[in-house]
A = this chain, B = another copy of it.
Amino acid sequence: MLLAMAAAAAAAAAAGGARRGRVLTSDTMNPAIRRVEYAVRGPIVTRALEIEQELRKGVPKPFKEVIKANIGDAHAMGQQPITFLRQVTALCLCPELMKDPSVPSDAKERAQRLLEACGGQSAGSYSASPGIQRVRENVARYIERRDGGIPSRADDIFLSTGASDAIVNVLKLLVAGAGVSRTGVLIPIPQYPLYSAALAELEAVQVNYYLAEERCWALDVAELRRAVTEARQRCCPRVLCIINPGNPTGQVQSRECIEAVIKFAFEEKLFLMADEVYQDNVYAEGSAFYSFKKVLKEMGPPYAEEVELASFHSISKGFMGECGLRGGYVEVVNMHPEVQAQLSKLVSVRLCPPVLGQMILDTVVDPPKPGEPSYERFQAEKEAVLGALAEKARLTQEIFNQTPGIHCNPVQGAMYSFPRIELPPRAVAAAKEKKQAPDMFFCMRLLEETGICVVPGSGFGQREGTFHFRMTILPPTEKLKILLEKLSTFYTKFVKEFS
Protein backbone atom coordinates (compact mmCIF):
# COMPACT_ATOMS: atom_id res chain seq x y z
CA MET A 1 0.00 0.00 0.00
CA LEU A 2 2.76 2.43 0.97
CA LEU A 3 4.60 1.39 -2.15
CA ALA A 4 1.52 2.06 -4.27
CA MET A 5 1.17 5.51 -2.73
CA ALA A 6 4.82 6.30 -3.34
CA ALA A 7 4.41 5.25 -6.95
CA ALA A 8 1.30 7.39 -7.15
CA ALA A 9 3.16 10.41 -5.83
CA ALA A 10 5.93 9.80 -8.36
CA ALA A 11 3.44 9.53 -11.16
CA ALA A 12 1.69 12.70 -10.02
CA ALA A 13 5.08 14.43 -9.96
CA ALA A 14 5.84 13.12 -13.44
CA ALA A 15 2.54 14.54 -14.61
CA GLY A 16 3.56 17.95 -13.35
CA GLY A 17 2.36 17.64 -9.77
CA ALA A 18 -1.16 18.89 -10.43
CA ARG A 19 -4.23 16.69 -10.80
CA ARG A 20 -4.41 15.62 -14.38
CA GLY A 21 -8.13 16.25 -14.70
CA ARG A 22 -10.51 14.48 -16.99
CA VAL A 23 -10.19 14.23 -20.76
CA LEU A 24 -13.93 14.33 -21.24
CA THR A 25 -16.10 16.94 -19.53
CA SER A 26 -19.23 18.75 -20.54
CA ASP A 27 -16.95 21.57 -21.74
CA THR A 28 -14.76 19.38 -23.90
CA MET A 29 -17.36 16.95 -25.21
CA ASN A 30 -19.00 17.04 -28.62
CA PRO A 31 -21.20 20.17 -28.51
CA ALA A 32 -23.60 18.72 -31.09
CA ILE A 33 -24.41 15.84 -28.74
CA ARG A 34 -24.85 18.29 -25.86
CA ARG A 35 -27.52 20.08 -27.90
CA VAL A 36 -29.53 16.88 -28.50
CA GLU A 37 -32.86 16.79 -26.69
CA TYR A 38 -35.34 13.94 -26.47
CA ALA A 39 -38.41 14.82 -24.46
CA VAL A 40 -40.17 11.46 -24.73
CA ARG A 41 -37.56 10.05 -22.38
CA GLY A 42 -36.51 13.38 -20.86
CA PRO A 43 -36.61 14.90 -17.35
CA ILE A 44 -40.27 14.06 -16.79
CA VAL A 45 -39.56 10.37 -17.31
CA THR A 46 -36.49 10.51 -15.10
CA ARG A 47 -38.69 11.94 -12.35
CA ALA A 48 -41.35 9.29 -13.02
CA LEU A 49 -38.75 6.55 -12.49
CA GLU A 50 -37.63 8.19 -9.23
CA ILE A 51 -41.21 8.33 -8.00
CA GLU A 52 -41.63 4.64 -8.81
CA GLN A 53 -38.63 3.88 -6.63
CA GLU A 54 -40.00 6.09 -3.84
CA LEU A 55 -43.29 4.18 -4.03
CA ARG A 56 -41.42 0.89 -3.74
CA LYS A 57 -39.63 2.22 -0.67
CA GLY A 58 -42.99 3.10 0.90
CA VAL A 59 -42.83 6.89 0.56
CA PRO A 60 -46.47 8.02 0.91
CA LYS A 61 -48.00 9.51 -2.25
CA PRO A 62 -51.54 10.48 -3.23
CA PHE A 63 -51.51 7.58 -5.77
CA LYS A 64 -50.46 3.96 -5.88
CA GLU A 65 -48.71 3.68 -9.24
CA VAL A 66 -47.07 5.77 -11.93
CA ILE A 67 -48.84 5.50 -15.28
CA LYS A 68 -46.41 6.05 -18.12
CA ALA A 69 -48.53 7.52 -20.84
CA ASN A 70 -45.41 9.24 -22.21
CA ILE A 71 -44.42 6.69 -24.81
CA GLY A 72 -46.13 4.47 -27.38
CA ASP A 73 -45.20 1.27 -25.58
CA ALA A 74 -48.21 -0.95 -26.18
CA HIS A 75 -47.23 -4.14 -24.37
CA ALA A 76 -46.09 -2.21 -21.31
CA MET A 77 -49.66 -0.87 -21.12
CA GLY A 78 -51.06 -4.40 -21.16
CA GLN A 79 -51.67 -4.99 -24.86
CA GLN A 80 -51.18 -8.70 -25.55
CA PRO A 81 -48.64 -9.87 -28.15
CA ILE A 82 -50.04 -11.54 -31.28
CA THR A 83 -49.58 -15.27 -30.71
CA PHE A 84 -48.53 -16.30 -34.24
CA LEU A 85 -45.67 -13.76 -34.26
CA ARG A 86 -44.34 -15.07 -30.99
CA GLN A 87 -44.71 -18.74 -31.79
CA VAL A 88 -42.75 -18.37 -35.01
CA THR A 89 -39.90 -16.43 -33.43
CA ALA A 90 -39.73 -18.69 -30.36
CA LEU A 91 -39.30 -21.71 -32.63
CA CYS A 92 -36.64 -19.87 -34.63
CA LEU A 93 -34.72 -19.35 -31.40
CA CYS A 94 -35.19 -22.86 -30.10
CA PRO A 95 -35.94 -25.34 -32.90
CA GLU A 96 -36.09 -28.15 -30.30
CA LEU A 97 -39.54 -26.76 -29.48
CA MET A 98 -40.81 -27.70 -32.97
CA LYS A 99 -41.94 -30.91 -31.28
CA ASP A 100 -44.34 -29.03 -29.00
CA PRO A 101 -47.85 -30.12 -30.02
CA SER A 102 -49.45 -26.85 -28.87
CA VAL A 103 -47.84 -24.88 -31.71
CA PRO A 104 -49.84 -24.91 -34.98
CA SER A 105 -48.24 -26.38 -38.09
CA ASP A 106 -48.18 -23.12 -40.05
CA ALA A 107 -46.11 -21.46 -37.33
CA LYS A 108 -43.70 -24.39 -37.46
CA GLU A 109 -43.46 -24.23 -41.24
CA ARG A 110 -42.86 -20.50 -41.17
CA ALA A 111 -40.12 -20.89 -38.57
CA GLN A 112 -38.51 -23.58 -40.68
CA ARG A 113 -38.57 -21.41 -43.81
CA LEU A 114 -37.12 -18.45 -41.93
CA LEU A 115 -34.34 -20.59 -40.48
CA GLU A 116 -33.52 -21.86 -43.97
CA ALA A 117 -32.93 -18.24 -44.95
CA CYS A 118 -30.33 -17.84 -42.14
CA GLY A 119 -26.64 -18.77 -42.29
CA GLY A 120 -26.18 -22.17 -40.64
CA GLN A 121 -29.98 -22.17 -40.17
CA SER A 122 -29.52 -20.12 -36.99
CA ALA A 123 -31.09 -16.83 -35.89
CA GLY A 124 -27.70 -16.22 -34.27
CA SER A 125 -25.95 -15.66 -37.61
CA TYR A 126 -25.55 -12.20 -39.03
CA SER A 127 -28.03 -11.62 -41.82
CA ALA A 128 -27.10 -9.74 -44.96
CA SER A 129 -26.69 -6.09 -43.95
CA PRO A 130 -29.90 -4.82 -45.64
CA GLY A 131 -31.76 -7.76 -44.09
CA ILE A 132 -32.70 -11.35 -44.87
CA GLN A 133 -33.47 -11.55 -48.60
CA ARG A 134 -36.65 -13.56 -48.01
CA VAL A 135 -37.99 -10.92 -45.64
CA ARG A 136 -37.13 -8.08 -48.02
CA GLU A 137 -39.05 -9.89 -50.74
CA ASN A 138 -42.06 -10.37 -48.49
CA VAL A 139 -41.94 -6.69 -47.53
CA ALA A 140 -41.93 -5.75 -51.22
CA ARG A 141 -44.94 -7.97 -51.85
CA TYR A 142 -46.74 -6.44 -48.83
CA ILE A 143 -46.14 -2.94 -50.19
CA GLU A 144 -47.53 -3.98 -53.56
CA ARG A 145 -50.73 -5.28 -51.95
CA ARG A 146 -51.01 -2.18 -49.78
CA ASP A 147 -50.58 0.13 -52.78
CA GLY A 148 -52.96 -1.67 -55.12
CA GLY A 149 -50.34 -3.36 -57.24
CA ILE A 150 -47.75 -0.64 -57.75
CA PRO A 151 -44.47 -2.57 -58.07
CA SER A 152 -41.97 -2.69 -55.22
CA ARG A 153 -38.49 -4.25 -55.43
CA ALA A 154 -36.75 -6.12 -52.64
CA ASP A 155 -33.54 -4.29 -53.60
CA ASP A 156 -35.13 -1.00 -52.54
CA ILE A 157 -36.01 -2.30 -49.07
CA PHE A 158 -33.51 -1.92 -46.24
CA LEU A 159 -34.48 -3.58 -42.97
CA SER A 160 -33.49 -1.65 -39.86
CA THR A 161 -33.25 -1.55 -36.07
CA GLY A 162 -36.67 0.07 -35.60
CA ALA A 163 -37.68 2.92 -37.90
CA SER A 164 -35.44 5.39 -36.01
CA ASP A 165 -32.29 3.69 -37.26
CA ALA A 166 -33.39 3.92 -40.89
CA ILE A 167 -34.53 7.55 -40.52
CA VAL A 168 -31.15 8.58 -39.13
CA ASN A 169 -29.28 6.67 -41.86
CA VAL A 170 -31.18 8.41 -44.64
CA LEU A 171 -30.68 11.79 -42.95
CA LYS A 172 -26.95 11.06 -42.72
CA LEU A 173 -26.76 10.70 -46.50
CA LEU A 174 -28.48 14.03 -47.00
CA VAL A 175 -26.48 16.25 -44.69
CA ALA A 176 -23.77 18.24 -46.48
CA GLY A 177 -22.46 21.73 -47.05
CA ALA A 178 -21.44 24.51 -44.67
CA GLY A 179 -22.89 27.89 -43.72
CA VAL A 180 -25.80 28.90 -45.94
CA SER A 181 -25.29 25.82 -48.09
CA ARG A 182 -25.75 23.48 -45.11
CA THR A 183 -28.62 21.03 -45.61
CA GLY A 184 -31.92 22.26 -44.21
CA VAL A 185 -34.54 19.72 -43.21
CA LEU A 186 -38.21 20.67 -43.00
CA ILE A 187 -40.02 19.02 -40.13
CA PRO A 188 -43.56 19.47 -38.88
CA ILE A 189 -44.21 21.31 -35.65
CA PRO A 190 -45.34 19.58 -33.51
CA GLN A 191 -42.88 16.79 -34.44
CA TYR A 192 -41.67 13.53 -33.05
CA PRO A 193 -38.42 14.57 -31.30
CA LEU A 194 -36.28 11.89 -32.96
CA TYR A 195 -36.14 14.38 -35.84
CA SER A 196 -34.89 17.37 -33.87
CA ALA A 197 -32.48 15.11 -31.98
CA ALA A 198 -31.02 13.62 -35.16
CA LEU A 199 -30.72 17.04 -36.80
CA ALA A 200 -28.92 18.42 -33.74
CA GLU A 201 -26.52 15.49 -33.75
CA LEU A 202 -25.85 15.74 -37.48
CA GLU A 203 -25.63 19.54 -37.30
CA ALA A 204 -28.20 19.92 -40.04
CA VAL A 205 -30.45 22.97 -40.02
CA GLN A 206 -33.92 22.36 -38.61
CA VAL A 207 -36.61 24.16 -40.60
CA ASN A 208 -40.00 24.22 -38.91
CA TYR A 209 -43.32 24.16 -40.69
CA TYR A 210 -46.41 24.46 -38.50
CA LEU A 211 -49.40 22.17 -38.72
CA ALA A 212 -52.76 23.96 -38.51
CA GLU A 213 -54.22 22.99 -35.15
CA GLU A 214 -57.48 24.79 -35.88
CA ARG A 215 -57.95 22.54 -38.93
CA CYS A 216 -57.26 19.26 -37.24
CA TRP A 217 -53.48 19.62 -37.62
CA ALA A 218 -53.70 19.83 -41.39
CA LEU A 219 -50.56 20.29 -43.46
CA ASP A 220 -50.72 23.42 -45.59
CA VAL A 221 -48.61 23.91 -48.69
CA ALA A 222 -48.68 27.69 -48.16
CA GLU A 223 -47.03 27.13 -44.79
CA LEU A 224 -44.45 24.81 -46.37
CA ARG A 225 -43.71 27.57 -48.87
CA ARG A 226 -43.32 30.16 -46.15
CA ALA A 227 -40.96 27.90 -44.25
CA VAL A 228 -38.80 27.02 -47.22
CA THR A 229 -38.59 30.60 -48.44
CA GLU A 230 -37.50 31.91 -45.07
CA ALA A 231 -35.07 29.03 -44.65
CA ARG A 232 -33.23 29.80 -47.89
CA GLN A 233 -31.74 32.82 -46.12
CA ARG A 234 -29.79 30.61 -43.75
CA CYS A 235 -29.44 27.13 -45.29
CA CYS A 236 -30.10 24.94 -48.31
CA PRO A 237 -33.44 23.16 -47.76
CA ARG A 238 -33.14 19.73 -49.35
CA VAL A 239 -35.38 17.46 -47.29
CA LEU A 240 -39.04 17.47 -46.34
CA CYS A 241 -40.14 15.17 -43.51
CA ILE A 242 -43.76 14.18 -43.12
CA ILE A 243 -45.28 12.09 -40.35
CA ASN A 244 -48.52 10.48 -41.49
CA PRO A 245 -50.53 9.48 -39.49
CA GLY A 246 -49.20 12.25 -37.28
CA ASN A 247 -47.12 11.88 -34.17
CA PRO A 248 -47.91 13.50 -31.74
CA THR A 249 -50.85 15.08 -33.54
CA GLY A 250 -52.89 12.08 -34.74
CA GLN A 251 -54.14 13.56 -38.02
CA VAL A 252 -54.40 11.43 -41.16
CA GLN A 253 -53.51 13.19 -44.40
CA SER A 254 -55.93 13.25 -47.29
CA ARG A 255 -54.90 12.07 -50.72
CA GLU A 256 -55.24 15.63 -52.06
CA CYS A 257 -52.92 16.93 -49.39
CA ILE A 258 -50.31 14.28 -50.22
CA GLU A 259 -50.51 15.21 -53.91
CA ALA A 260 -49.98 18.85 -53.07
CA VAL A 261 -46.97 18.00 -50.91
CA ILE A 262 -45.43 15.89 -53.68
CA LYS A 263 -45.88 18.70 -56.19
CA PHE A 264 -44.28 21.08 -53.75
CA ALA A 265 -41.32 18.72 -53.24
CA PHE A 266 -40.93 18.44 -57.00
CA GLU A 267 -40.96 22.19 -57.52
CA GLU A 268 -38.69 23.03 -54.62
CA LYS A 269 -36.34 20.11 -55.25
CA LEU A 270 -36.78 18.43 -51.92
CA PHE A 271 -36.12 14.82 -50.96
CA LEU A 272 -39.21 13.39 -49.27
CA MET A 273 -39.01 11.41 -46.04
CA ALA A 274 -42.37 9.87 -45.15
CA ASP A 275 -42.62 8.48 -41.64
CA GLU A 276 -45.50 6.06 -42.10
CA VAL A 277 -45.03 3.88 -39.02
CA TYR A 278 -48.68 4.35 -37.99
CA GLN A 279 -50.09 3.19 -41.34
CA ASP A 280 -52.15 0.47 -39.64
CA ASN A 281 -53.42 2.86 -36.97
CA VAL A 282 -56.26 4.75 -38.64
CA TYR A 283 -59.51 5.02 -36.69
CA ALA A 284 -61.64 7.97 -37.75
CA GLU A 285 -64.54 7.53 -40.09
CA GLY A 286 -63.70 9.00 -43.48
CA SER A 287 -59.96 8.76 -42.85
CA ALA A 288 -57.83 6.33 -44.84
CA PHE A 289 -54.13 5.79 -45.13
CA TYR A 290 -52.54 6.59 -48.50
CA SER A 291 -48.86 5.91 -48.81
CA PHE A 292 -46.69 8.60 -50.35
CA LYS A 293 -45.34 5.93 -52.69
CA LYS A 294 -48.79 5.05 -54.04
CA VAL A 295 -49.81 8.67 -54.58
CA LEU A 296 -46.45 9.53 -56.11
CA LYS A 297 -46.57 6.66 -58.58
CA GLU A 298 -50.20 7.32 -59.48
CA MET A 299 -49.46 10.97 -60.22
CA GLY A 300 -47.50 9.81 -63.25
CA PRO A 301 -44.63 11.73 -64.85
CA PRO A 302 -42.70 13.78 -64.09
CA TYR A 303 -43.37 13.16 -60.37
CA ALA A 304 -43.52 9.37 -60.46
CA GLU A 305 -40.01 8.96 -61.82
CA GLU A 306 -38.32 12.00 -60.37
CA VAL A 307 -39.35 12.77 -56.82
CA GLU A 308 -37.06 10.91 -54.42
CA LEU A 309 -38.79 9.34 -51.48
CA ALA A 310 -37.91 7.25 -48.46
CA SER A 311 -40.81 5.66 -46.62
CA PHE A 312 -40.38 4.20 -43.13
CA HIS A 313 -42.24 1.48 -41.28
CA SER A 314 -41.81 -0.32 -37.97
CA ILE A 315 -42.90 -3.39 -36.03
CA SER A 316 -43.23 -1.25 -32.89
CA LYS A 317 -46.64 0.22 -33.72
CA GLY A 318 -49.64 -1.06 -35.72
CA PHE A 319 -51.43 -3.96 -34.08
CA MET A 320 -48.23 -5.77 -33.11
CA GLY A 321 -46.56 -3.21 -30.85
CA GLU A 322 -43.29 -5.15 -30.79
CA CYS A 323 -41.16 -2.21 -29.63
CA GLY A 324 -38.57 -4.26 -27.77
CA LEU A 325 -37.59 -6.34 -30.80
CA ARG A 326 -36.39 -3.31 -32.76
CA GLY A 327 -37.52 -4.05 -36.28
CA GLY A 328 -38.43 -1.81 -39.18
CA TYR A 329 -37.59 -0.94 -42.76
CA VAL A 330 -37.20 1.84 -45.26
CA GLU A 331 -38.27 1.65 -48.90
CA VAL A 332 -36.36 4.03 -51.15
CA VAL A 333 -38.00 5.29 -54.32
CA ASN A 334 -36.19 7.00 -57.21
CA MET A 335 -32.94 7.05 -55.26
CA HIS A 336 -29.84 7.50 -57.41
CA PRO A 337 -28.19 4.07 -57.78
CA GLU A 338 -24.83 5.40 -56.59
CA VAL A 339 -26.40 6.85 -53.49
CA GLN A 340 -28.26 3.62 -52.88
CA ALA A 341 -24.92 1.79 -53.06
CA GLN A 342 -23.62 4.23 -50.44
CA LEU A 343 -26.60 3.44 -48.22
CA SER A 344 -25.82 -0.28 -48.62
CA LYS A 345 -22.25 0.39 -47.55
CA LEU A 346 -23.34 2.51 -44.60
CA VAL A 347 -25.65 -0.14 -43.16
CA SER A 348 -22.97 -2.81 -43.60
CA VAL A 349 -20.75 -1.10 -41.00
CA ARG A 350 -23.30 -2.04 -38.32
CA LEU A 351 -23.39 -5.59 -39.76
CA CYS A 352 -27.14 -6.28 -39.62
CA PRO A 353 -30.43 -5.35 -37.95
CA PRO A 354 -31.58 -7.65 -35.12
CA VAL A 355 -32.58 -10.92 -36.76
CA LEU A 356 -35.56 -11.57 -34.47
CA GLY A 357 -37.00 -8.17 -35.39
CA GLN A 358 -36.62 -9.13 -39.06
CA MET A 359 -38.46 -12.37 -38.42
CA ILE A 360 -41.34 -10.61 -36.66
CA LEU A 361 -41.51 -8.26 -39.64
CA ASP A 362 -41.82 -11.29 -41.93
CA THR A 363 -44.85 -12.53 -40.01
CA VAL A 364 -46.42 -9.06 -40.07
CA VAL A 365 -46.06 -8.50 -43.81
CA ASP A 366 -46.96 -12.09 -44.66
CA PRO A 367 -49.60 -13.03 -42.07
CA PRO A 368 -51.55 -16.31 -41.91
CA LYS A 369 -54.04 -16.68 -44.77
CA PRO A 370 -57.67 -17.82 -44.61
CA GLY A 371 -57.81 -21.57 -44.11
CA GLU A 372 -54.42 -21.83 -42.44
CA PRO A 373 -54.42 -23.11 -38.85
CA SER A 374 -53.37 -19.79 -37.27
CA TYR A 375 -55.61 -17.55 -39.37
CA GLU A 376 -58.62 -17.20 -37.08
CA ARG A 377 -56.68 -16.58 -33.89
CA PHE A 378 -54.41 -14.11 -35.70
CA GLN A 379 -57.33 -12.17 -37.14
CA ALA A 380 -59.21 -12.12 -33.86
CA GLU A 381 -56.20 -10.85 -31.93
CA LYS A 382 -55.39 -8.23 -34.55
CA GLU A 383 -58.96 -6.95 -34.72
CA ALA A 384 -59.28 -6.86 -30.94
CA VAL A 385 -56.23 -4.61 -30.67
CA LEU A 386 -57.24 -2.26 -33.49
CA GLY A 387 -60.86 -2.16 -32.33
CA ALA A 388 -59.85 -1.22 -28.80
CA LEU A 389 -57.51 1.48 -30.08
CA ALA A 390 -60.30 3.02 -32.18
CA GLU A 391 -62.57 3.05 -29.13
CA LYS A 392 -59.89 4.65 -26.98
CA ALA A 393 -59.13 7.27 -29.62
CA ARG A 394 -62.80 8.28 -29.55
CA LEU A 395 -63.02 8.24 -25.76
CA THR A 396 -59.94 10.41 -25.36
CA GLN A 397 -61.24 13.19 -27.53
CA GLU A 398 -64.69 13.00 -25.95
CA ILE A 399 -63.61 13.17 -22.33
CA PHE A 400 -60.95 15.86 -22.82
CA ASN A 401 -63.33 18.14 -24.68
CA GLN A 402 -65.82 18.01 -21.81
CA THR A 403 -63.39 20.05 -19.71
CA PRO A 404 -63.38 23.84 -20.28
CA GLY A 405 -59.85 24.93 -21.19
CA ILE A 406 -58.82 21.63 -22.76
CA HIS A 407 -59.14 21.40 -26.56
CA CYS A 408 -58.51 18.07 -28.18
CA ASN A 409 -58.57 17.43 -31.92
CA PRO A 410 -59.98 14.11 -33.09
CA VAL A 411 -57.42 11.31 -32.85
CA GLN A 412 -57.83 10.15 -36.45
CA GLY A 413 -54.83 7.86 -36.27
CA ALA A 414 -51.55 6.90 -34.54
CA MET A 415 -51.53 6.38 -30.75
CA TYR A 416 -51.59 9.78 -29.09
CA SER A 417 -53.72 12.71 -28.19
CA PHE A 418 -52.09 16.14 -28.17
CA PRO A 419 -54.61 18.41 -26.46
CA ARG A 420 -54.10 22.14 -26.09
CA ILE A 421 -54.48 23.46 -22.58
CA GLU A 422 -55.10 27.02 -21.54
CA LEU A 423 -52.81 28.01 -18.69
CA PRO A 424 -53.52 31.04 -16.45
CA PRO A 425 -50.90 33.84 -16.56
CA ARG A 426 -50.04 33.18 -12.90
CA ALA A 427 -49.18 29.56 -13.77
CA VAL A 428 -46.98 30.81 -16.61
CA ALA A 429 -45.25 33.18 -14.20
CA ALA A 430 -44.76 30.43 -11.61
CA ALA A 431 -43.18 28.24 -14.30
CA LYS A 432 -40.88 31.07 -15.34
CA GLU A 433 -39.71 31.41 -11.77
CA LYS A 434 -38.78 27.71 -11.76
CA LYS A 435 -37.09 28.12 -15.15
CA GLN A 436 -39.47 25.61 -16.65
CA ALA A 437 -41.60 25.76 -19.77
CA PRO A 438 -45.19 26.36 -18.60
CA ASP A 439 -46.38 22.99 -19.91
CA MET A 440 -43.42 21.24 -18.28
CA PHE A 441 -44.47 22.92 -15.01
CA PHE A 442 -48.00 21.62 -15.52
CA CYS A 443 -46.89 18.08 -16.43
CA MET A 444 -44.49 17.89 -13.48
CA ARG A 445 -47.24 18.93 -11.07
CA LEU A 446 -49.57 16.40 -12.70
CA LEU A 447 -46.99 13.67 -12.21
CA GLU A 448 -46.29 14.57 -8.57
CA GLU A 449 -49.95 14.74 -7.62
CA THR A 450 -51.56 12.00 -9.71
CA GLY A 451 -48.75 9.70 -10.89
CA ILE A 452 -49.73 10.33 -14.52
CA CYS A 453 -46.71 10.79 -16.77
CA VAL A 454 -47.33 12.71 -20.01
CA VAL A 455 -44.89 14.73 -22.13
CA PRO A 456 -45.11 18.53 -22.32
CA GLY A 457 -45.86 19.99 -25.76
CA SER A 458 -42.65 22.01 -25.60
CA GLY A 459 -40.80 18.73 -26.20
CA PHE A 460 -42.49 18.40 -29.60
CA GLY A 461 -42.68 22.06 -30.54
CA GLN A 462 -45.83 24.19 -30.67
CA ARG A 463 -46.87 27.69 -31.70
CA GLU A 464 -45.47 30.31 -29.33
CA GLY A 465 -47.85 30.97 -26.46
CA THR A 466 -49.80 27.72 -26.85
CA PHE A 467 -49.43 24.80 -24.47
CA HIS A 468 -50.04 21.10 -25.01
CA PHE A 469 -49.13 17.67 -23.79
CA ARG A 470 -48.87 14.30 -25.49
CA MET A 471 -50.58 11.34 -23.93
CA THR A 472 -50.83 7.85 -25.38
CA ILE A 473 -54.22 6.22 -25.87
CA LEU A 474 -52.71 2.83 -24.97
CA PRO A 475 -53.88 2.08 -21.41
CA PRO A 476 -56.71 -0.49 -21.20
CA THR A 477 -60.08 1.15 -21.86
CA GLU A 478 -61.37 1.19 -18.27
CA LYS A 479 -58.05 2.46 -16.95
CA LEU A 480 -57.85 5.08 -19.69
CA LYS A 481 -61.28 6.44 -18.74
CA ILE A 482 -60.23 6.89 -15.12
CA LEU A 483 -56.96 8.42 -16.28
CA LEU A 484 -58.65 10.93 -18.56
CA GLU A 485 -61.05 11.93 -15.82
CA LYS A 486 -58.30 12.23 -13.22
CA LEU A 487 -56.28 14.36 -15.60
CA SER A 488 -59.23 16.62 -16.41
CA THR A 489 -60.04 17.05 -12.72
CA PHE A 490 -56.42 17.89 -11.96
CA TYR A 491 -56.39 20.43 -14.78
CA THR A 492 -59.47 22.19 -13.41
CA LYS A 493 -57.96 22.28 -9.93
CA PHE A 494 -54.65 23.56 -11.31
CA VAL A 495 -56.34 26.38 -13.21
CA LYS A 496 -58.28 27.35 -10.09
CA GLU A 497 -55.11 27.36 -7.98
CA PHE A 498 -53.41 29.81 -10.36
CA SER A 499 -56.41 32.04 -11.13
Query: Which residues of A approach B to under 8 Å, CB–CB?
Result: 4-5, 7-8, 11-12, 14-15, 19-26, 28-31, 33-34, 36-38, 41-42, 49, 68, 71, 73-79, 81, 83, 86-87, 89-91, 93-94, 96-97, 99-100, 102-103, 118-120, 122-129, 161-162, 164-165, 172-176, 194, 197-198, 201, 238-239, 263, 266-267, 269-271, 299-303, 306, 308, 320-326, 334-336, 338-339, 342, 345-346, 348-357
**Which residues of B have CB within 8 Å of A323?**
124-126, 351-352
Cross-chain contact B33 with A76 (CB below 8 angstroms)? no
CB distance from A232 to the nearest CB of B (A): 15
Cross-chain contact B93 with A26 (CB below 8 angstroms)? no
State A24–B270 Cα separation when bound (angstroms): 9
The residue of chain B having its C-beta at the shortest distance from the C-beta of A99 within the complex is: B102
**Which residues of B have CB within 8 Å of A325?**
123-124, 354-356
**Which residues of B have CB within 8 Å of A118?**
75-76, 324
The residue of chain B having its C-beta at the shortest distance from the C-beta of A132 within the complex is: B324
CB distance from A97 to the nearest CB of B (A): 6
Q: Are A38 and B348 also in contact (CB < 8 A) when A22-B336, A30-B176, A73-B119 are?
A: yes
State A77–B79 Cα separation when bound (angstroms): 39
Which one of B7, B29, B338, B348 contacts A41 once the chains associate, using CB atoms below 8 Å?
Answer: B348
CB distance from A9 to the nearest CB of B (A): 9
Please list 11 pairs of residues, one from A and one from B, whose beta carbons are closer than 8 Å in the complex, sorted by A's number: A22-B336, A23-B271, A24-B308, A29-B174, A49-B128, A75-B118, A89-B94, A125-B324, A161-B354, A198-B349, A326-B351
Cross-chain contact B345 with A123 (CB below 8 angstroms)? no
Cross-chain contact B11 with A302 (CB below 8 angstroms)? yes
The residue of chain B having its C-beta at the shortest distance from the C-beta of A324 within the complex is: B355
CB distance from A135 to the nearest CB of B (A): 13
Cross-chain contact B349 with A11 (CB below 8 angstroms)? no
**Which residues of B have CB within 8 Å of A125?**
73-76, 323-324
Cross-chain contact A354 with B336 (CB below 8 angstroms)? no
Cross-chain contact A126 with B71 (CB below 8 angstroms)? yes
**Which residues of B have CB within 8 Å of A93?**
86, 89-90, 93, 356
Cross-chain contact B15 with A302 (CB below 8 angstroms)? yes
State A3–B308 Cα separation when bound (angstroms): 23
**Which residues of B have CB within 8 Å of A11?**
263, 266, 302-303
Q: Are A342 and B34 also in contact (CB < 8 A) when A86-B94, A271-B23, A334-B22 are?
A: yes
**Which residues of B have CB within 8 Å of A239?**
23
CB distance from A348 to the nearest CB of B (A): 4
Which one of B4, B306, B357 contacts A301 once the chains associate, using CB atoms below 8 Å?
Answer: B4
**Which residues of B have CB within 8 Å of A198?**
349
State A55–B335 Cα separation when bound (angstroms): 30
Cross-chain contact A300 with B5 (CB below 8 angstroms)? yes
**Which residues of B have CB within 8 Å of A103?**
97
